[in-house]
Amino acid sequence: MFDNEYFNLGYLDTLSYRDTVIHRLDPRAKLIATLLFIVTVVSFPKYEIAGLLPFFLFPVLLFSLADVPVKFILKKVLLVSSFAVFIGIFNPVIDRRTVYYLLGVPVSGGWISFLSIMLKFSLTITSALLLIATTSFPGICHALQKLGMPEIFVSQLLFLYRYLFVLTEETMRIVRARDMRSFGNKGKGMKAFVHLVGTLFLRTVERAERIYQAMLSRGFAGRMHSVRSYRFTGGDAAFVGATTAALYLFRTHDIVGAIGRFSMRVF
């Protein structure tokens, strides 16, 4: 499980350096569009189902245009669904009013609001993962800084991301060594854990001192610089504009109802 998490992290990072239409967009444009999308989806009332369906167009477009492996992302979405399911599953238990008959089978309000929560969950989580699969993390940090996040927080994120891989590899070695020396649950208690984490901490502090010295010798004076420069082009503006317009249309118009009525009239 540990190795798997690490692999996923690295894989998402690799995905983000591909070169497609979506990858080439400015990180700011993608971040803003994603946030707008999430807020719009979440703004639907509790019992909404039909209105949420057209929104699946956005992840599907991103999946296909950016060539992101669908299975990989969906697996990750399933993995983190526990809290939303855990809280949402109480809706059908508590809200038992029958509000609707589906082909003669009574459906309670609770199941409808639960389904609504699950739809919102898959839309929001998928879009967040798609953002990181199509945008490099330093790019997102850059966008955050341009959008007004304090510099120290952004440099903190960059540092954390850079050393994440180093420290997880070190931790993987430590955990593997512990697991090889412990049988069953013996040796996996809190005492051993505290010593492992303590040692890891001391090594980390020493590493930080070395890093600082290395930075100083390369002329560090309190600021982090980036070589790559991003430009917010007309294409990026068009992307944000089109997304906003589509979101507004989907939010305010009953697309599903209209298509349903239209098709009923045709056939």
List the interface residues with other proteins, window 30-59 (CB under 8 A).
34-35, 38-39, 41-50, 53-54, 56-57
Residues 190-219 that bind other proteins (CB under 8 A): 190-198, 200-202, 204-205, 207-209, 211-212, 215
Of 200 and 231, nearer to other proteins (C-beta) is 200
What residues between 216 and 235 interact with other proteins by CB under 8 A?
220-222
Q: Which range, of 22-30, 187-195, 225-233, 234-242, touches other proteins by CB under 8 A?
A: 187-195
- Out of 105, 180, 227, 264, point to the residue binding other proteins (CB under 8 A): 264
CB of 231 to other proteins, least distance (A): 23
**Cβ atoms 81, 123 nearer than 8 A:** no
Residue 259 is a binding residue for other proteins (CB under 8 A):
yes
Q: Which of 17, 60, 176, 237 binds other proteins (CB under 8 A)?
A: 60
* Cβ distance to other proteins smaller for residue 8 or 230: 8
Identify which of residues 237 and 259 has a Cβ nearer to other proteins in the complex.
259
Q: Helix H segments across 67-189?
A: 70-79, 82-88, 90-94, 109-134, 137-146, 151-181
Q: Does the footprint of other proteins cover residue 257 (CB under 8 A)?
A: yes
Among the residue ranges 22-30, 73-81, 225-233, 235-243, the one whose residues contact other proteins (CB under 8 A)? 73-81
Please name the amino acid found at residue 251. Answer: R
Q: Is 22 in contact with 65 (CB distance < 8 Å)? A: yes
Contact between 203 and 33 under an 8 Å Cβ cutoff? The reply is no
Among 139, 133, 130, 137, residue whose Cα is nearest residue 26: 139
Residue 26 vs 127, nearer CB to other proteins: 127
Query: Smallest gap, in angstroms, from Cβ of residue 146 to other proteins?
Result: 15
Residue 160 touches other proteins, criterion: CB under 8 A: yes
Residue from 72, 161, 230, 232 in contact with other proteins (CB under 8 A): 161
Is 242 among the residues that bind other proteins (CB under 8 A)?
no
CB of 100 to other proteins, least distance (A): 5
Query: Which residue, among 34, 49, 59, 36, has the nearest Cα to 249 in the 3D structure?
Result: 36
Asked whether 253 and 55 are in contact (CB, 8 A), the reply is no
Burial code (b: 16+ CB inside 10 Å, e: under 16) for 34-55 equals beebbebbeebeeebeebbebb
The alpha carbon of residue 126 and the mean position of all alpha carbons in its chain are separated, in whole angstroms, by: 7
Cβ atoms of residues 93 and 110 within 8 Å: yes
Q: How far is the CB of 127 from other proteins (least distance, A)?
A: 8
| Pairwise CA distance, residues 86 & 83, whole Å | 5
Any idea what DSSP says for residue 101?
E
Which one, 171 or 232, has the nearer CB to other proteins? 171
Which residues, 6 or more positions from 100, have their beta carbon under 8 angstroms from its beta carbon? 106, 107, 112
Site string for other proteins, 91-130 (x = CB under 8 A): x-xxx-x-xx------x-xx-xx--xxx-xx--xx--xx-
* Side chain identity at residue 27, one-letter code: P
